[in-house]
Amino acid sequence: MTWWGWGAPGHDAALPEHALRFLAAEVGLAEQARGPVDLAAVRLRESALPAGVLQRLLAICGADGARTDREARVWHAAGKSYPDLVRQRTGDCAVAPDVVALPRGDEQVRAVLECCAAAELAVVPFGGGTSVVGGVEPLRGRFRAVVTLDLGRLDRVLEVDPKALVVGVEPGLRLPALEVALAGHGLTLGHFPQSYEFATVGGCAATRSAGQASTGYGRFEELVRGVRLAAPAGELDARAVPATAAGPDLRALVVGSEGTLGVITGLSLSVRPRPPLTRHEGFVLPDFGSGVEALRALAQERAGPDVVRLSDEQETRASLALAGEGGWLRRVGFAYVRARGRAAGALLICGWEGEENEAIGRRARSVAVLRRHDALSLGQAAGAAWVRTRFHGPYLRDALLARGVLVDTLETATSWSRLEALYDAVGVALRGALDRRGTPPLVLCHVSHVYESGASLYFTFLARQEEGAELEQWRAAKCAASEAIMANGGTITHHHAVGTDHLPWMEAEVGSLGLDLIRAAKQTLDPVGVMNPGKLLP
Amino acid sequence: MTWWGWGAPGHDAALPEHALRFLAAEVGLAEQARGPVDLAAVRLRESALPAGVLQRLLAICGADGARTDREARVWHAAGKSYPDLVRQRTGDCAVAPDVVALPRGDEQVRAVLECCAAAELAVVPFGGGTSVVGGVEPLRGRFRAVVTLDLGRLDRVLEVDPKALVVGVEPGLRLPALEVALAGHGLTLGHFPQSYEFATVGGCAATRSAGQASTGYGRFEELVRGVRLAAPAGELDARAVPATAAGPDLRALVVGSEGTLGVITGLSLSVRPRPPLTRHEGFVLPDFGSGVEALRALAQERAGPDVVRLSDEQETRASLALAGEGGWLRRVGFAYVRARGRAAGALLICGWEGEENEAIGRRARSVAVLRRHDALSLGQAAGAAWVRTRFHGPYLRDALLARGVLVDTLETATSWSRLEALYDAVGVALRGALDRRGTPPLVLCHVSHVYESGASLYFTFLARQEEGAELEQWRAAKCAASEAIMANGGTITHHHAVGTDHLPWMEAEVGSLGLDLIRAAKQTLDPVGVMNPGKLLP
């Protein structure tokens, strides 16, 4: 991954002409494309690592197991949030870690934690580095230096149990590598977040990830059967049993702890047989509201697809424009849709996966529900096009930043009863905040996960960047949206986690006694407080 | 409920002649039936309530809101575990609470907790009083007196949201009363533990209950969307959102906390439309092993019924014998089954519930899987008979105790890979322990809940009581089974909770750091330690 953006170095992220024209008309573009600064020009502090620590880390992790070089420090200086990208592109790496440790195996992880707790050094666990909420920002807290603990070398599949459909894995294993290993056994994890190409299983557990097919396969936390945590105070082993009534579920304390309690060193995950049938299909609903009602019926009648993604009218319109005249949506059905008076409808992508009879039967029930809600099918080509581009979103950000466009996403969830009010309030908040700064935004939204009791809302907002005040501009929009979320019964995050960006709303989210409970767990597992300071807990 | 056994006072729990003959031959019976002692003969200590506390409780809960009379104290002296019943029947109520408080509404609960924390009095939350693991035993811990906090007056349905399929309820609401209220809205909770007639929603949440249809509807913890806890340190409100990534799931700390952290004062629960179709059906599998493989296929192919209950050969044989010549199983299919050479097979009850097409389609897929595993159908009469008797088990215990028979149940769960070894080990342990005491047992087992990764095992064991050493005899069997469970990858409890009876195995279950985490939560919410001492935490 590049240190300043998304994807492998050298990939092409240029936007086509028609997309640039659309964005120029909607939000405005910078006249000149601006690239990131060179690695050599990035501003770094001297490593503040106390004498002797580097030697101790090398003794623990081996001769190549601790790095203080520019490349390693810059690469681990940030995740992939909008503020991260703005800072990295301009070469501001003041927060870079003082050293990057690269342990192999959980004994080395425990030894690194002991070393850091003894030397009073902050520790930032780092998986794929894909956090979009500041989760891997190497903050020092009250400590004199910070060690980023890169889990990339804990990347083994330890056990495959095809009888129980459970696998044992190390935390630094990337999702695609796990899928490759599972394919050899005819299995799949079925977890496909937009960060799929780079995300690690440990990161998914630490942040309560949800993937594009989690409506069907379950959120990552539902896939975690057992989890092992190395903490400064010792090892916690929440072992894998299918179900238990033996007191509170301690797995739920580790999952979502975002590296603040310790380092996840092992996971037992539920897997499934690879689906013999996978079918993705597009539909157009008369409008977003009727689409939401259709999704509610699908979820509550248990007739639902494994993948659902319902765009509002604005996102549907933007998808059409960005796809261009030759784009898939125009090609497959737009003329037909327009002919039926649905030019301003809401696009829905559905995916069914499973054993043939089961999936075909479920699709038939889904389609019956959708027809009841006046959906028009766009066929499988629209679904296939979505599958082809399902991980492309993060790449576009680099191209947009290069042309001076603010782009960020935020997400929430609430009950079906409050969904419409929450949708309206967040849209009003984002438009209000950015209008007030003279940069009227384009606000897009889709529902990506449905539950019996409610659904998620995923917002994308774009605006012309305020040059020189990029972070203030972003913060104004982020704060306005977050306040609207909390005032309307939403959760501050449905699957992006808390990190640094959602800290101000954690007390509203869980209450002061809730925060005290997390702090008590931290005091027990990490009495010196070295683990990932400045994240999760205000 | 009677203070010495199960069910409303006066119900008839006599065993028919053929059942007595079977039990006499299998384990032996006492010659004379022995009833419980009279209420007046029960041995009670003087209430040790400090001066003034009763007045304060009356001031909080109203004139009838605090009781120290014999009936109230004896009734709240025990749950319904085997040791509880043995002690209650013989009139040993030394542990009875010093007072029973009956608050109304969560403000009164909070006031009672404040009063007890200030006066340093132990508090035992009491819902339906159906614990079979000592969960409501009024232990004093290090305190001079104990207050049982009966939640029976917090029994309201606060809100029904048919759009989000969520209801808000008070903790003391009994499951049948909730179903009556929901029926008026065309809804159901779908939670049917064997204690259904008496269990409360708060108790189900505090103990991580599973019901007979939880394979389909989900365990109680999966139905809890939000939960409010009144603790001596304040109120924790884990509000209801369909899903979130905002840090660790604090609901999971409250659910399963068994009254040791505070008192659950409110719950948001997922409900479903009442199923238009409910179909129960019996099958016979060649043996328990092939039945287990069939259940694994049902769970992993997502073709499963909502209710599954597979008896091993011993339980099948005992069911036939106890049903008698006129019994349902003989009537509906035993001749047929015997003709097919399946006299020693394994009985399976399945239930499908849902919207007509969905449930019928799922049943067809289930039956295809079962046929692959050589199952013979016994038809719907066998299923209907099971439905009629599904809550009868606890009543039988009174009749058995009256005839000098030790009877208890215990349950566990493990992965499909370890299920057979765990099944064997627990059977060997129970038979060995009771053989050694000269009381060879009848050990029966069934699988009652299936998951993709594994299943539960539910054991029933019966033996002639050792008169005068009833509790030592029971403890020997319980310990042997529990050690076998922990040595074979099982959980110490799948749905009965920890209480006092499973305390010795909690460290093996969650580790010493796991216990420290629960203690840290308790220290935060209940710094004086008054909440339900002697339960959950060794």
Identify the CA nearest to B177 among candidates B214, B167, B73, B228.
B167
Q: B199: which chain A residues are within 8 Å (Cβ-Cβ)?
A: none
Per-residue confidence (pLDDT) for residue B323, from 0 to 100: 79
**At B434, which CATH number?**
3.30.300.330
Separation between Cα atoms, residue A212 and residue A310, nearest integer Å: 12
CA atoms within 13 A of residue B243's CA, in its CB half-sphere: 26
Q: B208: which chain A residues are within 8 Å (Cβ-Cβ)?
A: 244-245, 249
The CB density around residue A18, as the number of other CB atoms within 10 Å, is 15
Q: B299: which chain A residues are within 8 Å (Cβ-Cβ)?
A: none
Tell me which chain B residue has its CA closest to the CA of residue A218: B243
Tell me the pLDDT tens digit for each residue of B240-297.
Answer: 999 999 999 999 999 999 999 999 999 999 999 999 999 999 999 999 999 999 999 9
The answer to whether residues B260 and B300 belong to one domain is no
Tell me the pLDDT tens digit for each residue of A512-523.
Answer: 999 999 999 999
Question: Which of B241, B272, B355, B510 is most worth mutating to test chain A (most A CB atoms within 10 A of its CB)?
Answer: B241
B106 touches chain A (CB under 8 A): no
What values do phi and psi take at A89, rounded to 5? Answer: -60, -30
Separation between Cα atoms, residue B266 and residue B264, nearest integer Å: 6
| pLDDT of A335 above 70 | no
In a domain, B30, yes or no: no
Tell me the pLDDT tens digit for each residue of B377-410.
Answer: 999 999 999 999 999 889 999 999 999 999 999 9
B residues 313-332 lying closer than 8 A (beta carbon) to A: none
| pLDDT of B338 above 70 | no
A452 touches chain B (CB under 8 A): yes
B453 and A166 within 8 Å at the Cβ level: the answer is yes
The answer to whether residues B414 and B325 belong to one domain is no
Question: Which of B214, B415, B453, B524 is most worth mutating to test chain A (most A CB atoms within 10 A of its CB)?
Answer: B453
Q: Which of the residue ranges A386-400, B158-172, B324-338 has the most confident prediction, judged by mean pLDDT?
A: B158-172
Separation between Cα atoms, residue B230 and residue B239, nearest integer Å: 14
Tell me the pLDDT tens digit for each residue of A409-437.
Answer: 999 999 999 999 999 999 999 999 999 99
B residues 117-156 lying closer than 8 A (beta carbon) to A: none
Q: Give every strand in the sheet of B99-101, ordered side by side.
A: B66-67, B99-101, B146-150, B122-126
What mean pLDDT do residues A470-496 have?
98
The structure tokens listed for A290 are 């009727």
A residues 217-256 lying closer than 8 A (beta carbon) to B: 219, 221, 225, 231, 233-238, 240-256
Q: Domain tally for chain A?
A: 3
Question: Which of A241, A270, A302, A450 is most worth mutating to test chain B (most B CB atoms within 10 A of its CB)?
Answer: A241
Q: State the first-to-last Cα distance of chain B, in angstroms, to the nearest integer.
A: 30
Separation between Cα atoms, residue B322 and residue B468, nearest integer Å: 28
A492 touches chain B (CB under 8 A): yes
Per-residue confidence band for A324, with pLDDT thresholds at 50, 70 and 90? confident
Tell me which chain A residue has its CA closest to the CA of residue B209: A245
Burial state string for A279-295 with b = 16 or more CB within 10 A and e = fewer than 16 = bbbbbbbbbbebbbbbb
Tell me the pLDDT tens digit for each residue of B31-49.
Answer: 888 999 999 999 999 999 9
What mean pLDDT do residues B186-192 have?
98
In a domain, A36, yes or no: yes
Closest CB to B241: pick one of A270, A413, A525. Answer: A413
B452 touches chain A (CB under 8 A): yes
Q: A512: which chain B residues are within 8 Å (Cβ-Cβ)?
A: 234
Per-residue confidence band for A223, with pLDDT thresholds at 50, 70 and 90? very high
Output the average pLDDT for chain A: 95
B516 touches chain A (CB under 8 A): yes
pTM above 0.90, yes or no: yes
Distance from CA of B264 to the nearest CA of A (A): 14
B residues 379-438 lying closer than 8 A (beta carbon) to A: 413-417
Output the average pLDDT for chain B: 95
Q: Point out the domain boundary residue: A374, A390, A406.
A: A390
The answer to whether residues A144 and A34 belong to one domain is yes
Per-residue confidence (pLDDT) for residue B340, from 0 to 100: 62
Separation between Cα atoms, residue B465 and residue B474, nearest integer Å: 9
Closest CB to B494: pick one of A245, A454, A495. Answer: A245
| pLDDT of B427 above 70 | yes
Per-residue confidence (pLDDT) for residue A336, from 0 to 100: 58
- How many contacts (CB atoms, under 8 Å) link A and B? 287
B234-238/B224-231 β-pairing: antiparallel
Q: Point out the domain boundary residue: B336, B355, B390.
A: B390
Q: B235: which chain A residues are within 8 Å (Cβ-Cβ)?
A: 511, 513
A194 touches chain B (CB under 8 A): no
Per-residue confidence (pLDDT) for residue A137, from 0 to 100: 98
A195 touches chain B (CB under 8 A): no
Q: Is the ipTM of this complex over 0.85?
A: yes
A residues 21-80 lying closer than 8 A (beta carbon) to B: none
Q: B190: which chain A residues are within 8 Å (Cβ-Cβ)?
A: none
The answer to whether residues B188 and B224 belong to one domain is yes
Separation between Cα atoms, residue A360 and residue A494, nearest integer Å: 30
- Segment (H or E) for A347: strand A346-354
Tell me the pLDDT tens digit for each residue of B137-182.
Answer: 999 999 999 999 999 999 999 999 999 999 999 999 999 999 999 9
Among A29-33, A84-88, B212-216, B220-224, which stretch is predicted with the lowest mean pLDDT?
A29-33
Q: B511: which chain A residues are within 8 Å (Cβ-Cβ)?
A: 235-237
The answer to whether residues B298 and B331 belong to one domain is yes
**At B331, which CATH number?**
3.40.462.40
A248 and B250 within 8 Å at the Cβ level: the answer is no
**At A43, which CATH number?**
3.30.43.10
A413 and B236 within 8 Å at the Cβ level: the answer is no
The answer to whether residues A23 and A137 belong to one domain is yes
Per-residue confidence (pLDDT) for residue B324, from 0 to 100: 73
CA distances (Å), origin A485, targets A426, A481, A490, A491: 6, 6, 5, 7
Q: A454: which chain B residues are within 8 Å (Cβ-Cβ)?
A: 164, 241-243
| Structural contact between residues A146 and A531, judged by C-beta atoms closer than 8 angstroms | no
The answer to whether residues B373 and B406 belong to one domain is no
| pLDDT of B69 above 90 | yes
A209 touches chain B (CB under 8 A): yes
Tell me which chain A residue has its CA closest to the CA of residue B450: A242
Kindly give the residue spans of alpha helices, DSSP state H, lying in A375-500: 380-389, 393-402, 419-436, 470-487
In a domain, B117, yes or no: yes
The string of DSSP letters for B172-205 reads: T-BHHHHHHHHHTTTEE-----TTTTT-BHHHHH
Q: A359: which chain B residues are within 8 Å (Cβ-Cβ)?
A: none
Q: A303: which chain B residues are within 8 Å (Cβ-Cβ)?
A: 358
Closest CB to A511: pick one of B236, B301, B303. Answer: B236
B residues 283-312 lying closer than 8 A (beta carbon) to A: 296, 300-303
B241 and A454 within 8 Å at the Cβ level: the answer is yes
The answer to whether residues B109 and B163 belong to one domain is no
In a domain, A485, yes or no: no
B166 and A453 within 8 Å at the Cβ level: the answer is yes
The answer to whether residues A134 and A217 belong to one domain is no
Distance from CA of B415 to the nearest CA of A (A): 6
In a domain, A405, yes or no: no
B164 touches chain A (CB under 8 A): yes
| pLDDT of A339 above 60 | no
What mean pLDDT do residues A100-116 have?
98
Among A355-369, A448-462, B288-302, B322-336, which stretch is predicted with the lowest mean pLDDT?
B322-336
A249 and B255 within 8 Å at the Cβ level: the answer is yes
B454 and A164 within 8 Å at the Cβ level: the answer is yes
B518 and A253 within 8 Å at the Cβ level: the answer is no
Closest CB to A208: pick one of B208, B233, B245. Answer: B245
CA angle, residues A269, A275, A277, in degrees to nearest 5: 160
CA distances (Å), origin A168, targets A193, A259, B242, B277: 20, 20, 28, 40
Closest CB to B247: pick one of A234, A416, A506. Answer: A506
In a domain, A489, yes or no: no
Q: Point out the domain boundary residue: A336, A355, A390.
A: A390
CA atoms within 13 A of residue B295's CA, in its CB half-sphere: 36
Instruction: Report percent pLDDT > 90 for chain B.
Output: 90
The answer to whether residues B253 and B328 belong to one domain is no
Closest CB to A415: pick one of B166, B273, B523. Answer: B166
Domain span at residue B119 reads 35-150
Instruction: Report percent pLDDT > 70 for chain B.
Output: 96
The answer to whether residues B368 and B398 belong to one domain is no
Closest CB to A243: pick one of B258, B451, B510. Answer: B451
In a domain, B3, yes or no: no
Per-residue confidence (pLDDT) for residue B341, from 0 to 100: 60
The answer to whether residues B339 and B365 belong to one domain is yes
**At A245, which CATH number?**
3.30.465.10
Q: A355: which chain B residues are within 8 Å (Cβ-Cβ)?
A: 301-302
The structure tokens listed for A274 are 């690879």
A449 touches chain B (CB under 8 A): yes
In a domain, B195, yes or no: yes
What mean pLDDT do residues B65-71 have?
97
Helix, strand, or coil here: A96?
Answer: coil
